[in-house]
């Protein structure tokens, strides 16, 4: 597949088959998938970083610890979508490989360190949920 990022110069539409809320890695991939199937798609994003408690935008797939602590009531809403995130990262790799432009795509590991038993218990619970 040979893909190239181009600005959309078409006239704006007011009718869409699908509205995708969130322009993170998953939202953009869902939008891309649907557009490739010929759907009229609009992706709406608030334009701020870390809009949810799940993060794949920086290409690490995890629930963000900070948001888990700040908004524990939201965690059950995000758990069912976690399996989508690794698929989105894989798709970004495919997009990167097919583009003629460098999009600075990188996949790296990470490390979380617990300094006390409370933090260790939190990380164990976080890992189990993910």
Q: What is the pLDDT averaged over residues 55-84? A: 78
Mean pLDDT for the chain overall? 78
* Residue 112: predicted pLDDT: 87
**Of 25 and 33, more confident:** 33
pLDDT digits (tens, 9 = 90+) for 90-103: 877 887 888 777 77
Locate the domains of the chain by residue range: 18-129
Contacts of 100 (CB under 8 A, 6+ apart): 2, 4
Give CA–CA dist 94/130, Å, rounded: 24
- DSSP-assigned letters across all residues of 23-85: -SHHHHHHHHHHHHTT--EEEE----S--SSEE-TTS--EE-HHHHHH-GGGHHHHGGGTTHH
How large a percentage of the chain has pLDDT more than 70?
A: 79
pTM: 0.52
Helices 84-98 and 25-36 pack at an angle, to 10 degrees, of: 70
Beta bridge partners of 18: 41
**Of 80 and 58, more confident:** 80
pLDDT digits (tens, 9 = 90+) for 75-86: 888 888 888 878
């Amino acid at each position: 597949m040979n893909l190239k990022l181009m600005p959309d110069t078409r006239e704006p539409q007011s009718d869409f088959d699908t509205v995708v809320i969130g322009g993170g890695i998953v939202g953009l991939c869902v939008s891309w998938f649907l557009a490739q199937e010929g759907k009229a798609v609009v992706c709406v994003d608030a334009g701020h970083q870390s809009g949810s408690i799940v993060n794949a935008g920086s290409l690490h797939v995890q629930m963000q610890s900070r948001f888990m602590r700040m908004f524990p009531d939201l965690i059950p809403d995000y758990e069912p979508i976690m399996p989508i995130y690794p698929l989105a990262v894989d798709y970004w790799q495919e997009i990167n490989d097919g583009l003629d432009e460098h999009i600075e795509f990188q996949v790296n590991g990470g490390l979380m360190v617990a300094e006390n038993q409370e933090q260790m218990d939190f990380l164990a619970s976080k890992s189990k949920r993910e």
